[in-house]
Structure 1
Amino acid sequence: MHTLVKGLIAGAAGTSALNVASYLDMVIRARGASSTPGQAVERLAGLAEVDLGDGERGEHRKEALGSLLGYGTGAGAAVCYGLLASGRRPPCAVGVLGLTALAMLGSNAPLTALGATDPREWTASAWVSDVLPHLAYGITAYAAYELLRS
């Protein structure tokens, strides 16, 4: 199976795990969903001079596009991992941490560059809300990628 296909499948599995971890965190702590992806979409749409629509329709588009950006990030991180790990099998801890870092960097760097967030200002609770779901991504994407390699 080609590296790209393995990466896309592993990224989809990892992103599903990240979403489950995020939703469980929302249930346990009774917190709302992050508005950051929607803010990023709004800023990107403004830069591209794209009208997302007014009112509820525009809000729905921002929410949906923010979620799709997350899936793209998850797929991209696993494809990058596959390209970097091609021909070698890093130890489990290295692979998991590498995928976790790639996913966190892939999501937080663009959001920071767009001014939608600033990790330097995050509380400990905000860091937990970010790190744990990305760790779930890393564990799941690594397991999926390694299973597809077999």
Structure 2
Amino acid sequence: MHTLVKGLIAGAAGTSALNIATYLDMVIRARAASSTPQQAVEKLSDLTDVGLGDGEQAENRKQALGSLLGYATGAGAALCYALLAAGRRPSWPVGVSALTALAMAGSNVPLTALGATDPREWPPSAWISDALPHLAYGITAYAAYELLRC
């Protein structure tokens, strides 16, 4: 199986784990979903002058596109890892840390650049609710990638 295919499969597995961890956190703490992805879509729409429709249509598209951006980030992080790890076998702490960092950077750097969030202003609870799902991503994507290498 090609390295890029393995990376995409690992990214899909990791993204599923991230979503499960996020939804469990929402259930446990009875918190609402983040609106940051929708804000990013709105800012991208404004920057590119691409209309999303009016009213409810626009809101629905923002929500869907925000979710799709999350899947793209998960796929992209694992693809980057797969290319960096090609021909190597990073230990699990190194691999999990790299995948977690790639996923966090892949989501937070663009969101910060767009002005949708500022991690410097996050309280500790926001860092935890961001870091733990990304760690679930890293663990799962690493395990999936390594299993596909066998």
For the residue of structure 1 that corresponds to 2:20, the secondary structure is helix
Q: Which residue of 2 aligns with 1:147?
A: 147
Q: Which residue of 1 aligns with 2:89?
A: 89
Q: How far apart, in 2, do the equivalents of 1:117 and 1:40 lie?
A: 9
Across the two proteins, how many residue pairs are aligned to each other?
A: 150
Deviation of residue 92 (structure 1)? 0.4
Q: Is 2:142 the counterpart of 1:137?
A: no
Q: How far apart, in 2, do the equivalents of 1:90 and 1:125 lie?
A: 31
Q: Which residue of 2 aligns with 1:76?
A: 76
Q: How far apart, in 2, do the equivalents of 1:54 and 1:24 lie?
A: 32
Identical-pair percentage? 80
Moved over 2 A (4+): none
For the residue of structure 2 that corresponds to 1:33, the secondary structure is coil
Q: How far apart, in 1, do the equivalents of 2:40 and 2:144 lie?
A: 29
Q: Deviations over 1:86-138 (max 9, x none)?
A: 00101100000100000000000000000000000000010011000000000
1:1-150 superposed matches below 5 A: 1-150=1-150
For the residue of structure 2 that corresponds to 1:52, the secondary structure is coil
Question: Structure 1 unaligned runs (5+)?
Answer: none
Q: How far apart, in 1, do the equivalents of 2:7 and 2:41 lie?
A: 25
TM-score (norm 1): 0.99
Q: How far apart, in 1, do the equivalents of 2:59 and 2:118 lie?
A: 23
Deviation of residue 53 (structure 1)? 1.0
Cα RMSD (Å) of the superposition? Answer: 0.4
Question: Structure 2 unaligned runs (5+)?
Answer: none
Deviation of residue 54 (structure 1)? 1.2
Question: After the TM superposition, which of the residue ranges 51-60 and 34-43 deviates more from structure 2?
Answer: 51-60
